[in-house]
Amino acid sequence: MTEAAFCPACVGLPEGQLEKAASNGTNQIVLSLPGIHCVACINGVERSLRALDGVANARVNLSMKRVTIGTSQPVTPEALIDTLELAGFEARVLDTSLLGSEADSYGSSLLTRLAVSGFANMNIMLLSVAVWSGAVGETMHLFHWITAVIAIPTLIYAAQPFFQSGWRALKVGRLNMDVPISLAIILASGISLYETIYGGAHSYFDAAVTLTFFLLIGRYLDHRSRKAAASAAAQLSALEVPRVMRLRDGVRQMVDFGALAIGDLIQVLPGGRIPVDGQVVEGDSQIDRALLTGESRLSAATVGTKVTAGEVNMTGPLTIRAATVGADTTLRKMVTMVDEAEAMRNRYTAVADKAAAIYAPAVHLLALFAFAGWMLYSGDFRLSLNIAVAVLIITCPCAMGLAVPAVATAAAGRLFRAGLLVKDGTALERLAEVDTVVFDKTGTLTMPAAARDMLDARTQSIALAMTRNATHPVSQAIAAALGDVTPASITNQQEHAGKGLSALYKGQRVRLGSGAWLGAGHGTFIQIGEDKPQRIALQSQLREGAAELVRAWQDYGLKIHLVSGDDANETARIAAALNIETWQAATRPADKIAYIKRLAAGGAKVLMVGDGLNDTGALAAAYASISPATAADASRAASDIVLLNDSLMPLIEVPMVARAALARIKENFTISTVYNVIAVPVALAGFATPLIASIAMSASSITVLLNALRMRGRV
């Protein structure tokens, strides 16, 4: 069993708790806590750490499964880890510099600017209605001045995202959608201020602020849909062991990972992650190779066994001679593969960006044509500039700016209600084009299941009592298989990291866990007192909804592939059960990436569905990707969509919703185009008053939003 299967402090306590105050020590150390899952875990971790000399405070983040420790005097990470392990909590050093800031300052800034522009817009519209209703003379001029006082500071602050983006584009000699937006806002404000100063009859402040408000809505919706995306490569890098125990001339010494050299002897204690590729020279243990194979079964490690970076030592201390270090380790190579795969996928050009490439220069040329034409016709610079500004305002891509994020947000909301979290802004566009699906097996299409027929009635009741409150998949599988059994009365239950569970039953010690711990060989066993350990047979069973999902996607025209790190017999059995004709077994991370690249080279748009760390590179390399919420952190980070439910049934409608969303996006662009076809001649003819410009622009934006809301109904 590869992680804590039972949390002794969890029994009988309510779930959920607010985090403690932030660490207030002089220095901070961050540890990963992969096994915590409830309020008792939080209390236990924080209480254990605060009792240690030198620890000023500790704050557990349950959702991120990490603890931040503030220290008032030097304390080594190893001392903190030892303290936690004595308290029954698995801990690892986490390099948070590789994970980046968790604060969403840009999103908060957009929301603030949106609120400011919305409030200003309401007040300006009240004044504009008075002018449109017939206010003249000094009253009209006074309202124009009040509007200017409200609008100019608002635009200077609220429109900064467009100004900054447009300026960055111009500095490198290109155009983006924000260039015409910025130009329209600046010219509209400038000409409006000029008209106000010299007593003109019209001002465009209302149109400029309305434009800014609607575009900020689109920008915020777009940002919110992208906000959840994180770098999978950074998540993997954070798993690297920054400090290791080196043995040199019989002396143990903690050194930085970068100080290791080929040939160094490294000691890895039970529960520790192996930092280098190498060979075991001393020790007898079992290792968790889920990082490379995706399988939860442990592998024996004895003298001569080759091990790789990223694997976890489970049951006994090992001494390893380093064969590769630094950038040559398997884990670091995996980081590089994921980096390259993400870079390839990030080259995807969104529909809105394709439209901007055509639309932005067209708008500028149209406004320039309007100005030049009216100058030749009338010779009136002021009139010509007013008409050119009107063209820029009325053709400004407000509706186009909302076209994608409005649909994406509506579709993401629909999927979220079904139990799916859309993380990437272009995910739905890419999913709509998918024609091939590659499934991982273990943890994705299958879950571990236990057979009960090998155990007698007494053993079954004891096994259920020990596993019914556990969270490890193997423990849950045993409990599920024994669901109709009456649990025995046991006491003094304990969890042994990397080994299993123990308890007392009628004065006898009972142990349930790995065969190596019980001296019974490979597999999962239960032992009562001094009796011979009894094997608990485990096998894979289809995950709920797996058969329905595969059948539905095949009926929808998608080609289904199965690629697994498991052996050929087990992979073939699951493929046959799901009627999947194309499968490949015994695949390593690089093999999965190569498999997807071969499909892509043949013209396929591949959707990867997987959950393990070994799937991270494949998830990033695929055209689109999905992982369950139970997946490794790096796998979730590399995915476009995260499945929040245990059942796979919610995934059935993903391709349909994605294709419907792409259809709505194209409809929104059509609406925007039709609007421009009607509005542009009006503006070019000089009939685009501020009222007409504002109403037309707002109407097109509202129409786009209403069309996007159709995603909430049937697709």
Give the residue numbers marked as catalytic. 440
Burial (Cβ within 10 Å: 0-12, 13-18, ≥19) of residue 707? buried
Q: Which tokens sit at 448? A: 């571990």
Nearest-angstrom CA–CA distance, 517 and 513 = 7
What is the Cα–Cα distance from 82 to 199, expressed in whole angstroms?
77
- Pick left, alpha or beta for residue 523 (phi over 0 → left; psi -120 to 50 → alpha; otherwise beta): left
What is the sign, positive or negative, of the torsion defined by CA atoms of 488, 494, 495, 497?
negative
CB-CB neighbours of 497 under 10 Å: 18
DSSP state of 22: P
Residue 142 and residue 237 in contact, taking contact as beta carbons nearer than 8 Å: no
Three-state SS across 560-604?
Answer: EEEECCCCHHHHHHHHHHCCCCEEECCCCHHHHHHHHHHHHHCCC
Q: Report the distance separating Cα 689 and Cα 476, nearest Å.
A: 69
Q: How far apart are CA 265 and CA 261, in angstroms?
A: 9
d(CA 468, CA 503): 13
Helix axes 178-197, 351-378, angle to 10 degrees: 40
What H or E segment, with its residue span, contains residue 132? helix 105-132
Dump the DSSP string for 214-255.
HHHHHHHHHHHHHTT---HHHHHHTTS-SEEEEEETTEEEEE
* Residue in the block written with tokens 């066993």: 525
Distance from C-alpha of 193 to C-alpha of 389, rounded to nearest angstrom: 13
Phi-psi region of 202 (alpha: psi -120 to 50; beta: other; left: phi over 0): beta
Q: What is the DSSP letter of 443?
A: T
Q: How far apart are CA 217 and CA 667, in angstroms?
A: 19
Report helix, strand or coil for 399: helix
Q: Which two tokens stand for residue 167?
A: 């300026």
Handedness of CA 546, 552, 558, 560 (dihedral sign): positive
| Spatial distance between the Cα atoms of 441 and 659, rounded to a whole number of angstroms | 26
How far is residue 669's CA from residue 636's CA, in Å, rounded to a whole number?
Answer: 32
CA torsion 287-288-291-292 (nearest 10°) is 60
- All residues at 6 or more sequence positions from 19 whose CB lies less than 8 Å from its CB, including other chains: 42, 59, 60, 61, 62
